[in-house]
Amino acid sequence: MFKIIPSRPWHCGYIARRVRTEHKAAIVSLGFDLHEQIAIAYRETLAPRTWLRDGKIVAVGGVCGGPCEPSGLLWLALSREAVAFPMACVREAKRQIEQAMHTRHELTANIVSGDKAALRFALYLGFEYDSAAMGMDRRAVYMRYRRLAMEAA
C-alpha cells in the first residue's frame, strides 16, 4: 500500500503542511511550531522514513536515538490523506516498529493530550501508558512499547 523511502530534509516541510488537523492543533496549542518540531525529530533520527502513496508523501517518521541505545523515541507525522487508509497505516506502523525492535528493548512515544486519535492509534499498536512518566507534564501522554520478556531471551 505504501512505498517506504529514506526521508530527505524537505519532506519535513511538505508533511508539516499536510499533517492531520488534530495533530497540528495539538502541537500549536503547546506553543510549538509544527515544522520545527518535525525537523528536530528528523535531525535526531538515524534513518528517518517517508511513506509514499501514488508517489505522494503521506507520512514521515522514525525513531530518535543512537544505534546502540536500548530505547528510542518513536515519532510519526501522518497526513490527512493517510488517515483514509487506517488499516494500511496500522500494518506499516507495526512493520516499522518490528524493525526498530530488532535493535532496541523499548520504544517511547509522547502524544499531546489533545490528540485523541493519536492516542487511540498508539494503544492499538500495542503501546501502554508509562505510569512512571505520567506526572511529569499533563500536556503530554507518555507511552511505552516493550519487547515481551520471552522475546528478549
Angstrom CA distances, 85 to 60, 80, 89, 126, 149, stand at: 15, 10, 6, 19, 32
The answer to whether the beta carbons of residues 13 and 35 sit under 8 Å apart is yes
How far is 15 from 79, CA to CA, in rounded Å?
6
Q: What is the residue-level pLDDT of the chain in tens, covering all 153 positions? A: 899 999 999 999 999 999 999 999 989 988 999 999 999 999 999 999 999 999 999 999 999 998 888 999 999 999 999 999 999 999 999 999 999 998 899 999 999 888 899 999 999 999 998 876 555 566 788 889 987 643 544
Question: What is the pTM (predicted TM-score) of this model?
Answer: 0.88
Q: What is the pLDDT of residue 145?
A: 94
- Full domain range(s) for residue 118: 3-152
Find the CATH number of the domain harbouring 113: 3.40.630.30
The answer to whether the beta carbons of residues 71 and 46 sit under 8 Å apart is no
Encoded amino acid at 5, one letter: I
Count of the separate structural domains present in the chain: 1
Residues with Cβ within 8 Å of 95's Cβ and at least 6 positions away in sequence, in order, are none
The answer to whether the beta carbons of residues 34 and 24 sit under 8 Å apart is yes
Nearest Cα neighbor of 106 from 45, 52, 40, 151 is 151
